[in-house]
Structure 1
Amino acid sequence: MNIVMKTETIEDFYKIKFDRLPGDLNRETGHFNVFRLEDCHGPNALPVNYSRRDFYKISLIRGKNRYHYADKSVEISGSTLMFFNPNIPYTWESLSDDKTGFFCIFSKSFFTEKIRGGLGDLPMYTPGGNPAYKLDPLQDEHVSAIFLKMLDEISSDYTFKMDLIRNYVTELTHFALKSRPTETLYHHPDAKTRITAVFTELLERQFPIERPGQRLTMRSAKDYAEQLAVHVNHLNRAIKESTGKTTTHLIAERLTAEAKVLLKHTNWNISEIAYSLGFEDPAHFNNFFKKHTLLTPSSFRNSQAA
């Protein structure tokens, strides 16, 4: 099984939803936009792919829905405030026909130096965090009013409207933090496949190695388990059952493939390649490569040049 997910960019989002790009997409202050859900998810809308995005998203959605987030799933009914970040792949499926609500999207740079500690430190955005906050009717009314203010402001000609919109987004965040996240989590039948997909996406994100100073930071199953906020044994079982291979084997396969590319297509010396792939000692890299290819790195390079 070989799962490679393409990251959906803001450009992809606009092309998929509207078949056009907004004129202010590359503004230096970062990108923000807000929408009514029913304007983007009509009866002929394309399904939402399970993938990582390179932007943040906050949604108020009503009706019965199921979200898949990393290796978890959450089923929601009624009004729910959802937070998604660029690090964790997700998708959602509607279980009813009464979808209404709002959502906004924004790039990381939209909040540069605006939130203490960074967005990634907030509980709803941390790995393993729960992004769902169920709302009662009064809370729905309050959150809807914030989204309506965003919609009014985004179309205004007020010079400082983006500063005001940042305040609205911050208000949504703190409103959620003061309430309790939804706890209706269940193990979806595809949970093992899903966590394998997330692991594979994290693994692939480290490649290609494009310069000698670039260095691999995750080389063990434990490294990936910590990033995904799951126990390493849980990760190992999920990957073994989904692929028939161990986590260590998949990491070694990808390292070996990248090592071959670097040996064949660059003039970097063996020490530089070893360092880039996360090996502290070139001898360890030599032993690793020989174990998986039956050739030393130098022998492999010479055979490719012949």
Structure 2
Amino acid sequence: MKSDTIKTFNQKEFLSKFMGPAPKLRKMIKDDQGRFFMVPVQDMIKISQVPVPPTRATTHTLIYLTEGVASMTIGFQKVRIRKDECLVVAAGQVFSYDKHEVNRGFISNFDDDFLISRISGKELLKEFDFLNIWGNPVIKPKGNTVNYIRQTLQRVLDEYQHNGLTNVALIKSYFIAALCELNTAYQPIAKSGSQVALTLVNGFKEAIHKYIKEKHHVADYASLLHVSPNHLNKTVKSVTGKPASAWISETLITEAKVMLVHTDHSISEIATALGVYDQSYFSRLFKKYEKVTPLEYRKMIDLS
């Protein structure tokens, strides 16, 4: 039964299914140093059900493959990683996938508090663009970096499987080291443009995720970012290959899909919640991107 509020990935529910009612479960889910868990990818597949419809992540998820492939849709972007590549779903991002694939590797779920408490400060988060809503979700390490990442993640997994978060400082140290290694291979999403242009585009992406239910026009975001609408549209298109208007529409449709899947609200109520007061326009826009109407999309998800 769907609820009136949007559901999100429930880490506690996952851990309960995977680990059982262990005495340490509550501490392993969340303690005063944040939330963290790690399991082999192949073990998670045993308990996961597909398809997973558009769902908002409440914490960061990192998948590193040592064998096989993995496909996912993040926001409106379809991504695919292979052996020795990494996929990151940043907290707040919407993700979905529709099939099990043969693969092996590591999957970890964690929040900002886990990274910044005790042994590191908030400044650390600024080092990892891939943990931002606008970051590139795919990282492709090369050379010796591949071995360093594998070894470091394996050390984290071994410690976590044997001792939970008993030696949390040790786990954090190795895990942050793995993120730092990944950071050396990270490349931002950009077809072209200067650092100034990339900074503007990143600010724009962050703004649309924050204000999409209130602001639907390029001019709205240009005003927030203190540039002209024409400059914003051109810059976004030059860096990403798509104009700012397309990013706004795609983000709006992504939000609509989450609400269609995880609430019982009517199509009219969803359109209104997203700041679109013309239901016919909302349905036309949705069909333009999804090839089906909002109602047909909901029925498809229910059948699956």
| TM range, smaller chain | 0.5 to 0.7
Cα separation, 2, equivalents of 1:138 and 1:123:
22
User: Could you list the runs of 5+ residues in structure 2 that have no partner in the other structure?
Assistant: 192-206, 226-239, 257-266, 279-304
Alignment partner, residue 245 of structure 2: 233
Residues 171, 184 of structure 1: CA spacing in aligned structure 2 closer, same or farther, 3 A cutoff?
same
Give 1:92 deviation, angstroms: 4.0
Residues 78, 239 of structure 1: CA spacing in aligned structure 2 closer, same or farther, 3 A cutoff?
closer
SS in structure 2 at match of 1:66: strand
Please tell me whether residue 31 in structure 1 is matched to residue 32 in structure 2. Answer: no
Mapped contact 2:72–2:96 kept (Cα < 8 A): yes
Alignment partner, residue 111 of structure 1: 115
SS in structure 2 at match of 1:100: strand
Please tell me whether residue 251 in structure 1 is matched to residue 282 in structure 2. Answer: no
2:175 to 152, 169, 172: 169
Give 1:66 deviation, angstroms: 1.7
Mapped contact 2:115–2:176 kept (Cα < 8 A): no
Cα separation, 2, equivalents of 1:4 and 1:224:
27
> Number of residues paired by the alignment?
224
Q: Which one-letter code corresponds to 1:152 in the other structure?
A: D
1:69 to 65, 69, 74: 74
Alignment partner, residue 261 of structure 2: none
Give 1:151 deviation, angstroms: 2.1
1:122 to 121, 128, 139: 128
Q: Which one-letter code corresponds to 1:176 in the other structure?
A: L
Residues 95, 79 of structure 1: CA spacing in aligned structure 2 closer, same or farther, 3 A cutoff?
farther
- Hey, which of these two has a bigger chunk of helix by percent? 2
SS in structure 2 at match of 1:221: coil
Alignment partner, residue 283 of structure 2: none
Mapped contact 2:62–2:109 kept (Cα < 8 A): yes
Give 1:49 deviation, angstroms: 4.0
Q: Deviations over 1:164-199 (max 9, x none)?
A: 2111121111111111449799xxxxxxxxxxxxx9
Residues 232, 14 of structure 1: CA spacing in aligned structure 2 closer, same or farther, 3 A cutoff?
same
Mapped contact 1:80–1:133 kept (Cα < 8 A): yes
Cα separation, 2, equivalents of 1:159 and 1:239:
37
Cα separation, 1, equivalents of 2:53 and 2:16:
14
User: Could you list the runs of 5+ residues in structure 1 that have no partner in the other structure?
Assistant: 186-198, 205-217, 255-306
Residues 17, 90 of structure 1: CA spacing in aligned structure 2 closer, same or farther, 3 A cutoff?
farther
Q: Which one-letter code corresponds to 2:37 in the other structure?
A: N
Larger Rg, first or second structure (1 or 2): 1
Alignment partner, residue 151 of structure 2: 145
Mapped contact 2:76–2:251 kept (Cα < 8 A): no
Cα separation, 1, equivalents of 2:70 and 2:178:
21
Residues 72, 171 of structure 1: CA spacing in aligned structure 2 closer, same or farther, 3 A cutoff?
same
Q: CA RMSD in A?
A: 4.5
**TM-score, length basis structure 2:** 0.57
Q: Deviations over 1:93-115 (max 9, x none)?
A: 55742x10012222332223524
**TM-score, length basis structure 1:** 0.57
Mapped contact 1:63–1:79 kept (Cα < 8 A): no
Cα separation, 2, equivalents of 1:184 and 1:200:
18
Report % sequence identity: 14
Mapped contact 1:82–1:131 kept (Cα < 8 A): yes
Q: Which one-letter code corresponds to 1:175 in the other structure?
A: E
